[in-house]
Amino acid sequence: MTRHFLRDDDLSPAEQREVLDLAAALKKDRFARRPLDGQKTAAVIFDKTSTRTQVSFSVGVADLGGNPLIMDSKNSQMGGKESISDTAKVLSRMVELIVWRTYAHSGLEEMAAHATVPVINSLSDDFHPCQILADLQTIREHRAARNGGELAGLTATYVGDAANNMGHSYLLGFATAGMHIRVAGPAGYHPREDIVADAKRIAAETGGSVTILTDPIEAVRGADAVITDTWVSMGQEEEKAERIATFGAYRVTPELMEHAADDAIFLHCLPAYREYEVAPEVIDGPRSVVWDEAENRVHAQKALMAWLLEQA
């Protein structure tokens, strides 16, 4: 059966571990897997802008032996002109994989329902699961050695817009890894209740835990990793002034990092806004692992694509 990756919990805990192990192997031996030799093509479609996702999927598909077809949906028949189901059927006859960055998550679900090749969510309004695989790989590299090589049992805190795609994906993806995930945001910007419930159910199986907070200091206390994201996600530009006023207390500063574990690392999916969600002393300082995190998009996504193609 064709497998898709639309949400972080589309991979079971054991499957997520397989993908992360393969990501580590591919980081050491870049051309070890060639499932797209031929050259076969992967369509990588964008409704929103991107730097990392565009480049990491281009490089990743090429490394797997394939041809990345980067599509700006504005130059296609997508976007209301042709149905998602017809698009899914046409693309499935031509390409081996469909990677799509879009707005409404329901569009990805419709694409997956009609595609006969794997569909990968490369960011929707609700989730950014490819980013979470890269983040898990990065935390494993930097912190797991002190934890018997395991992600399970580590504590990560995400502060800021806990209602956005990153907040949701940290809940599901880190709970799947058996981690203790805390997310903190102001009232009105807490994660969706159904996603919190799903994450708690997963954490109960993996030995992790899920905590939703409002106080950023309480949230980062003793954490192994502190994470944030932009306060103004793509599509929310009109709310910028209101959001900046609301999120001020959630800025990650050296003072906030003092409350985390002594050698806590800092992650940010990027792009970062140093005047808002993170101080330059943190993101450009010794605790920051954001460049490893960005690089790991390539390795984690290659592992994901190779793994999904093997399941077909």
Residues that bind ligand CP (CB under 6 A): 50-53, 123, 131, 269-271
Is the Cβ of residue 90 or residue 234 nearer to ligand NVA in the bound state?
234
The answer to whether residue 229 is catalytic is yes
Owner of token pair 């992600």 = 151
The answer to whether residue 4 is catalytic is no
Among candidate residues 269, 287, 299, 301, the one labeled active-site is 269
Task: Name which of ligand NVA, ligand CP, none residue 210 binds, using a CB cut-off of 5 to 8 Å depending on partner kind.
Answer: none
Among candidate residues 7, 17, 33, 128, the one labeled active-site is 128
Look up residue 219 and give its two tokens: 């949230």
Residue 258 and residue 157: Cα distance in Å, rounded?
13
Residue nearest to ligand NVA (CB): 233
Task: Name which of ligand NVA, ligand CP, none residue 164 binds, using a CB cut-off of 5 to 8 Å depending on partner kind.
Answer: ligand NVA
How many CB atoms within 10 Å of residue 50? 17
Q: Compute the least distance from the CB of residue 273 to ligand CP, in Å.
A: 13
Among candidate residues 16, 131, 137, 301, the one labeled active-site is 131
Q: Compute the least distance from the CB of residue 233 to ligand NVA, in Å.
A: 3
Is the Cβ of residue 208 or residue 277 nearer to ligand CP in the bound state?
277
Instruction: List contacts with ligand NVA (CB under 6 A).
Output: 123, 128, 164-166, 229-230, 233-234, 269
How many CB atoms within 10 Å of residue 49? 11
Among candidate residues 125, 135, 224, 229, the one labeled active-site is 229
Q: Compute the least distance from the CB of residue 271 to ligand NVA, in Å.
A: 7
**Short-list 16, 6, 4, CA closest to 208:** 16
Is the Cβ of residue 123 or residue 306 nearer to ligand CP in the bound state?
123
Q: Compute the least distance from the CB of residue 7 to ligand NVA, in Å.
A: 15
The answer to whether residue 311 is catalytic is no
Is the Cβ of residue 131 or residue 176 nearer to ligand CP in the bound state?
131
The answer to whether residue 39 is catalytic is no
Residue 278 and residue 99: Cα distance in Å, rounded?
30
- Alpha helix (H) ranges present in the chain? 13-28, 52-63, 84-92, 105-114, 129-143, 165-176, 193-206, 216-220, 240-247, 254-257, 280-283, 290-311
Q: Please, which residues have CB within 8 angstroms of residue 140's CB and are 6 or more apart in sequence? A: 20, 24, 149, 151
Q: Compute the least distance from the CB of residue 149 to ligand CP, in Å.
A: 26
Task: Name which of ligand CP, ligand NVA, none residue 51 binds, using a CB cut-off of 5 to 8 Å depending on partner kind.
Answer: ligand CP
Among candidate residues 17, 140, 268, 297, the one labeled active-site is 297
Task: Name which of ligand CP, ligand NVA, none residue 165 binds, using a CB cut-off of 5 to 8 Å depending on partner kind.
Answer: ligand NVA
Q: Compute the least distance from the CB of residue 298 to ligand CP, in Å.
A: 12
Is the Cβ of residue 92 or residue 164 nearer to ligand CP in the bound state?
164
Among candidate residues 101, 143, 190, 268, the one labeled active-site is 101
The answer to whether residue 168 is catalytic is no
Q: Indicate the burial class of 59 (C-beta count within 10 angstroms; 0-12, 13-18, 19 or more).
A: middle
Task: Name which of ligand CP, ligand NVA, none residue 202 binds, using a CB cut-off of 5 to 8 Å depending on partner kind.
Answer: none
The answer to whether residue 131 is catalytic is yes
DSSP codes joined into one string, 127-195? --HHHHHHHHHHHHHHHGGGGTT-STT-EEEEES-TTSHHHHHHHHHHHHTT-EEEEE--TT-PPPHHH
Residue 231's H or E segment, with its range, is none
Helices 165-176 and 129-143, interaxial angle, to 10°?
50
Which residues have a catalytic role annotated? Answer: 101, 128, 131, 229, 269, 297
